[in-house]
Chain A
């Protein structure tokens, strides 16, 4: 039997949601019938609006999809202005203030505390600047990801940006693919280092080479069914198909139609295509694609070009995480800036937009490590850009603990999260920087903190994986983490091994410090952390280090999910100022 969500989607879904959304916006929050809340909030996701968690009723997260993370000149300015004007709630965040933008691990943008009454004005401004929230959430084609410097990279087989752009144009707002059984995540990688992270996407185009009719063609091998969610991580599987750049759209249409028609609409827990690949196997996926969805003979896979995949691979990387100053093929430079946990205040965002215009082409790009890149900087402008005060906070040469830290949204806003994330990761990174020595040759050390098993911070592919948990400590329930070690991508990707379980959050920094002491003392010469972990079995890894309380202080040990907002002076759910009208005045139950 189709799930409840499928029933709601049968009634209204896709582009038509917009007119209803605008009607509610005009009439105000209270116009949404109480008994239709759940159905409408599920539908609004298709237009990038996600109702915030319990305690924050009437406020929404808004996601803006920026394909391949590319923000054309003027777009960052528009996003900053929207955040400044509309993304303000009833309480400030103690680390980030009252209005901020989140750069996500899928090269998108998230704003919080958005009111439905403001949506038409926000959409008007976004669309006037070539931006949109369309299909940013919901059961549809999500934001297409790839190497964030595609077309401006000295290390690529093929410029994948035009392909990502073509797929974005073709499949966003396309009625034939607007109602999928579940989300559909696509990656297009053209560089030789694997920055598109195709292995963890539903549909991955990976660089490959094949001789066809005597001509050697650089294109893509196709992999299907990667993803990290729940405790069911999968790497995308090779279905033995090569496609030329010109065929990427046909293959995408075929694969997403296959998922549309054969994905599980009865059980949302089983709906992602990774489970269909488990059930059918790659061969049946290929055969069905050929027989039912593609009207020409599919080529078998070409030669994989993954041998130089170094991105997030735990060892020497040529352009690494794109942070720093890097020369483009045209002689200009791109400058990657570290944004700790991917969150940037609205004022800083606007200043960054100014710097992009002043020193470069005005274009900025977002990475899957939650950072930003300014592109097209002439060499003569580099020194002045690097001397800008903003770069003291968003450094092109950050400490490894600052550059390696990724965190998801967490209980601040998210319904699924078990624990507080971003502010805690900021505190972890600062404490580690001040108290823990890394070996001098380690420039990159990845700590990914995810609030739950949805894995939005991609914890399974980090040196240190943190996944939200609970524990009991001194008879109190406290926020905690499962800790995994040694995950990463590269030519031969590997998910982290979960080694220390249910560690109270205030003992995690001590554990990482103890672990790195052992690593420094016992590693072979130039052995990477990932290699060090891979060389040991589970029992040995369990004995490497112990969690420990230190002088690190964690203000979020209590059950932050039971507050209306974890950082409010009075955080009690009973006293929440929500739901609220457009002007922010709370609506009481008696109204």
Chain B
């Protein structure tokens, strides 16, 4: 089954199969990353720069700022969910993520 993913509204959303599924404004915790000096970054998502599929994972590069240290920039690819049989299962933003 194919799955359609793209960003919308200047990166405000990740749309999966024409449904707005992942939004800016949430905090994402990142571990083993090179986004900032923090062991565990706490990144406010201000936009989604790119989105892609590494089946079954849907991945995005996040434009954001770590609210612990203030570093801002673009993250490496972060999994935002999985596509299984054409359905999308988002990750929980508040959980810990491992970009790469």
Interface set of A (CB-CB < 8 Å, partner B): 4, 34-38, 41-42, 53-54, 230-231, 268-269, 411, 415-419, 452-454, 469-472, 477, 501-502, 559, 561-562
Contacts and interface: CB of A to CB of B under 8 A. Distances in A.
B40 interface: no
Interface of B: 4, 6-13, 15, 17-20, 23-27, 42, 44, 46-47, 49, 63, 65, 67, 70, 72
A34 B9 CA distance: 17
A477 B67 CA distance: 11
Nearest to B6: A4
Determine the main DSSP class of A at the interface with B.
Answer: mixed
Nearest to A477: B27
Contact of B67 (A35, A452, A469): A469
A501 B70 CA distance: 8
A419 B65 CA distance: 15
A80 B82 CA distance: 47
B26 A416 contact: no
B12 A35 contact: no
9 contacts: A35-B17, A54-B13, A268-B11, A269-B63, A415-B12, A416-B9, A453-B46, A470-B25, A559-B26
B70 A559 contact: no
B10 A268 contact: yes
B67 A472 contact: yes
Interface centre among B25, B46, B65 (most CB of A within 10 A): B25
Contacts of B11: 268-269
A452 B24 contact: yes
B44 A454 contact: no
Contact of A54 (B20, B63, B67): B20
A203 to B, nearest CB: 21
A36 to B, nearest CB: 7
B23 A37 contact: no
Contacts of B15: 38
Contacts of A37: 18-19
Contacts of B12: 53, 415-416
Given A4-B6, A472-B42, 4 more contacts: A38-B6, A470-B27, A472-B67, A562-B26
A415 B46 contact: no
A419 B63 CA distance: 17
A267 to B, nearest CB: 9
A416 B10 contact: yes
Contacts of B9: 415-416
A35 B19 CA distance: 9
A51 to B, nearest CB: 8
